[in-house]
């Protein structure tokens, strides 16, 4: 991998080492920090908005389901969180392979290959969607097997079947989002997701209160809303918004699928191991004494953490794009500088949220409950929530660097070791053996898993040879594209 491409590599780096605003050897002064910050927030701002908008569409669906009845609310929540949620996490992770490929191709000015990469991702994610389809088809027996009441399980199975269109929308929307982000076409994300959210809210209200379509209507509306967002984004790209990077459908999309699948699976596993780790954290307190209070308190804390997580996840996406762009352009030092700026920005925001949690440690749970027992339990967990938010302001940014650099396989193994071989056993020991209850489970999983993973990633970045990473990116671009096909200049 480190040899055999010397002739092709050098012209690529030289041709794409230009910077409009800064020189390669000058980083750290106020001007370069300001320029990099503007580039970063050009991606972060719209990404935060689009993530909150799409996340809120699920909340709207659950809220309207709550007006239909408790069984309807439970079925929609379970189908959304555990059926669609598992597929969502896997396909979102697999789509992040485009942040590596499209980001580096854009930096290297291999523009026409970006559309080919997106089409390859559609093919791979559609195949993944078919493989995961039994989760939706057999949702009812799966829910009964894990102990859900028959009425909830039956209703969940019905909702899951009508969620299948939503499920396949993930395979197309996630790649086109990353395709646009990688070339800094971010403002369109704001307008299209805003329009999608407004449509979703109005259509959900009409479905429930005008036509009385019930949970089936809500499931259909959610799927239609996601597909409309995809068609809006793709329509922008295909109808002139991305003239250099979208040159039409290509038979080349069907070549190199095996290698593309490997990178996509590594990306999916990397992010799924994180996503499923926190889902396990929510389930584990259910086996403790006083489980209801413990689960309620932890759910409140995780809801707060989930909303705040939209910010670091936006930094995850932005960092991946910035690092990939600079590495693709052959600018290792610029990629390193982009990493530092992103980590600092995200950490400062995390410190602010951390301080707010500590200041309002006995108040913020009032948003969700008035139960004295639950409020007391949340108050006791506030310091863990604050530390989790602080860690989560750093860790996703480091994962974004890994995606931008193409380290998905390496980080997937790291996540497996830190989360499931260290964090999870430590949480079990602290919760049941040491008898610290839910705080022990959470503390063990956070300190043993997330904290250790974050420290190791920081050490990897400190020791990283960024110029060598730029050379590897150049070789990967040569591997993934054919110069004779790309007509950009």
Q: How far, in Å, CA of 300 to CA of 304, rounded?
A: 6
Instruction: Record the pTM.
Output: 0.77
Q: How far, in Å, CA of 15 to CA of 1, rounded?
A: 22
Q: How far, in Å, CA of 101 to CA of 115, rounded?
A: 11
* For residue 484, pLDDT beyond 70: no
Q: How far, in Å, CA of 240 to CA of 70, rounded?
A: 47
Lowest mean pLDDT segment, chosen from 103-107, 267-271, 283-287, 458-462: 283-287
Average pLDDT in the 477-482 region?
66
Please tell me the predicted confidence (pLDDT) of residue 290: 61
Highest mean pLDDT among 113-117, 272-276, 402-406: 113-117
User: 199, 202, 189: which is closest to 232 by C-alpha?
Assistant: 189
Please tell me the predicted confidence (pLDDT) of residue 94: 85
Q: How far, in Å, CA of 423 to CA of 419, rounded?
A: 5
Q: Residues in the chain, how many?
A: 489
Taking only the tens place, the pLDDT of each residue in 120-143 is 999 999 998 999 899 899 988 988
pLDDT band at 478 (very low <50, low <70, confident <90, very high): confident
Please tell me the predicted confidence (pLDDT) of residue 66: 77
CB atoms under 10 Å from CB of 471, counted, come to 20
Please tell me the predicted confidence (pLDDT) of residue 254: 86
DSSP conformational letter for 436: -
Q: Rounded mean pLDDT of the chain? A: 82
User: 278, 270, 271: which is closest to 423 by C-alpha?
Assistant: 278
484 vs 366, higher pLDDT: 366
47 vs 30, higher pLDDT: 47
Non-local CB neighbours of 223 within 8 Å, separated by 6+ positions: 162, 163, 164, 165, 166, 169
pLDDT band at 27 (very low <50, low <70, confident <90, very high): low
pLDDT band at 286 (very low <50, low <70, confident <90, very high): low
Q: How far, in Å, CA of 444 to CA of 420, rounded?
A: 12
- Supply 201's token pair: 């809210």
Count CA atoms within 13 Å of residue 422 on its CB side. Answer: 15
Q: How far, in Å, CA of 340 to CA of 238, rounded?
A: 35
Taking only the tens place, the pLDDT of each residue in 451-471 is 998 999 999 888 888 888 888
How far is residue 17 CA from its own chain's centroid?
30
Highest mean pLDDT among 15-19, 97-101, 212-216, 278-282: 212-216
Average pLDDT in the 271-293 region?
69
Average pLDDT in the 437-463 region?
87
Q: How far, in Å, CA of 291 to CA of 294, rounded?
A: 5
Sign, CA dihedral 85-90-93-94, equals negative
CB atoms under 10 Å from CB of 322, counted, come to 29
Please tell me the predicted confidence (pLDDT) of residue 480: 65
Sign, CA dihedral 441-442-444-445, equals positive
Highest mean pLDDT among 22-36, 46-60, 194-208: 194-208
Average pLDDT in the 379-397 region?
88
Q: How far, in Å, CA of 174 to CA of 99, rounded?
A: 11
How far is residue 30 CA from its own chain's centroid?
31
Please tell me the predicted confidence (pLDDT) of residue 152: 80
């Amino acid at each position: 991998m480190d040899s055999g491409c010397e002739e092709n590599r050098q012209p690529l780096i030289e041709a794409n080492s230009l910077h409009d605003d800064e020189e390669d050897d000058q980083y750290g002064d106020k001007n370069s920090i300001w320029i990099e910050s503007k580039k970063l927030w050009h991606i972060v701002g719209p990404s935060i908005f689009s993530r909150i908008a799409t996340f809120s569409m699920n909340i709207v669906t659950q809220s309207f389901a709550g007006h239909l009845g408790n069984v309807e609310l439970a079925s929609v929540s379970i189908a959304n969180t555990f059926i669609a949620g598992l597929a969502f996490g896997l396909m979102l992770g697999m789509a992040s392979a485009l942040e590596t490929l499209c980001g580096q191709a854009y930096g290297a000015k291999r523009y026409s290959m970006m559309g080919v990469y997106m089409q390859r991702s559609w093919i791979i994610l559609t195949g993944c969607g078919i493989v995961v389809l039994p989760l939706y088809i057999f949702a009812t027996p799966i829910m009964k097997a894990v102990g859900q009441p028959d009425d909830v399980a039956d209703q969940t199975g019905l909702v899951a079947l009508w969620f299948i269109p939503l499920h396949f929308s993930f395979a197309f929307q996630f790649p086109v989002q990353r395709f646009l982000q990688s070339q800094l076409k971010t403002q369109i994300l704001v307008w299209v997701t805003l329009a999608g959210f407004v449509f979703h809210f109005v259509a959900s209200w009409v479905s429930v209160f005008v036509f009385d379509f019930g949970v089936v209507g809500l499931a259909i509306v959610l799927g239609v809303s996601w597909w409309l967002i995809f068609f809006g984004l793709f329509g922008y790209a295909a109808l002139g918004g991305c003239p250099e990077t979208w040159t039409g459908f290509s038979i080349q999309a069907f070549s190199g699928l095996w290698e593309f699948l490997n990178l996509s699976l590594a990306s999916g596993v990397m992010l799924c191991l994180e996503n499923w780790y926190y889902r396990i954290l929510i389930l584990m307190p259910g086996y403790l004494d006083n489980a209801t209070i413990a689960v309620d308190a932890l759910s409140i804390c995780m809801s707060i953490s989930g909303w705040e997580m939209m910010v670091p996840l936006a930094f995850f996406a932005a960092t991946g794009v910035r690092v990939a762009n600079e590495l693709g352009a052959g600018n290792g030092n610029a990629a390193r500088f982009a990493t530092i700026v992103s980590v600092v920005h995200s950490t400062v925001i995390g410190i602010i949220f951390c301080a707010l949690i500590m200041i309002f440690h006995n108040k913020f749970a009032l948003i969700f409950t008035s139960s004295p027992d639950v409020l007391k339990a949340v108050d006791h967990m506030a310091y863990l929530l604050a530390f989790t938010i602080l860690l989560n302001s750093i860790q996703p940014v480091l994962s974004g660097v890994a995606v931008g650099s193409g380290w998905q396989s390496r980080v997937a193994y790291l996540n497996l070791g830190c989360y499931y071989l260290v964090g999870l056993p430590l949480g079990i020991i602290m919760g049941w053996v040491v008898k610290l209850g839910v705080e022990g489970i959470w503390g063990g999983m956070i300190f043993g898993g997330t904290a250790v993973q974050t420290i190791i990633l920081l050490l990897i970045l400190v020791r990283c040879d960024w110029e060598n990473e730029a050379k590897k990116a150049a070789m990967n671009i040569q591997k993934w594209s054919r110069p004779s096909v790309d007509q950009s200049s």
